[in-house]
A and B are shown apart, each in its own frame.
Chain A
Amino acid sequence: MTWLWVALAGGVGAVLRYSLTLLHVRAGKTSRVATFVTNVIGAFAMALVVSIPGGIEQHPVLAAGLLGGFTTFSAASLDTAEDLREGRLVQGVVLPLAMVASAVVAFFLGLMVYGVLDALL
């Protein structure tokens, strides 16, 4: 029955992502900013899941389900494809590279935060 919980967690993750997008759009930000923020938060959270005993193999509902459903790759690809088609070449190159670099930094921060919490608690 793991598959069912993974699927339901994915639905929850997608609703959280959509909520974050609505909040960004309401605040006057573009959906590009929302996708960026979502994926960076998801990278940070993934580091926490990787760090807990059992890691992602033992926690598919959190890793593949909740965080997999929360983060997205397709929206980022489409945004950059449209940037390139419409001649926004700098944004088309810089945005995806900034996203992956920020995700890596957020993941590293997540590992450190887990390490600190683990030592303190």
Chain B
Amino acid sequence: MPPGGAALTVRTDPGLPARFGLVFVGGAVGTLARYLLSLALPYDAAHPPGYAVLVANVLGSFLIGVLAAAPPRSDRLGAAEWRLLLGTGVLGGFTTYSAFTLDAFSAAVGYGDSATGWLVWFVLGQIVAGVAAALAGLAVGHALGRSRG
């Protein structure tokens, strides 16, 4: 933190109610986007896996990488506020671990009519794909950051 940076951070740091508000609005938007995706690709517990969750989790992991490396800039919202709105809120709400656990549990106990071995690869593959997507997002974000100077 450069000299004077701390004071600047304190001045622009949003209060607790504002931070909860940003996370709430972002979380509602992200959750709604995932819900609409799940209507297009519905989850059927008897026939896992969940493709809507896979798409949301990998796409959300890519976008959070971009966000981490190239946070939006604006006069009205500071970097911390953008991170709460888009990172903690929208992408935290868009991606999910609870529905992902349904497939992980099915893979672990051999529940459902999908081949269990295939489900294990689907679950481990989703973790690897999420990390790879976040790495790709970080790379894209760093490139964006360099191009805008």
| Residues on A facing B (Cβ under 8 Å) | 3, 6-15, 17-19, 21, 38-39, 42-43, 45-46, 50, 55-57, 60, 63-65, 67-78, 80-82, 84-85, 92, 96-97, 99-100, 103-104, 106-108
Residues of A within 8 A of B70 (CB): none
B105–A42 touching, CB < 8 Å: no
- Could you say which interface size class chain B belongs to? 35 or more
Extra A-B contacts (10), CB below 8 Å, given A46-B98, A69-B92, A75-B88: A42-B97, A42-B98, A46-B101, A46-B102, A56-B43, A64-B34, A77-B60, A80-B134, A84-B135, A96-B127
Residues of B within 8 A of A19 (CB): 20
B49 sits at the interface (CB 8 A): no
B105–A73 touching, CB < 8 Å: no
Q: How far is the CA of A39 from the CA of B23 in the complex (A)?
A: 17
B41 sits at the interface (CB 8 A): no
A65–B68 touching, CB < 8 Å: no
A74–B63 touching, CB < 8 Å: yes
Q: Would A43 and B27 be within 8 Å (CB), given that A74-B57, A78-B68, A85-B138 are in contact?
A: no
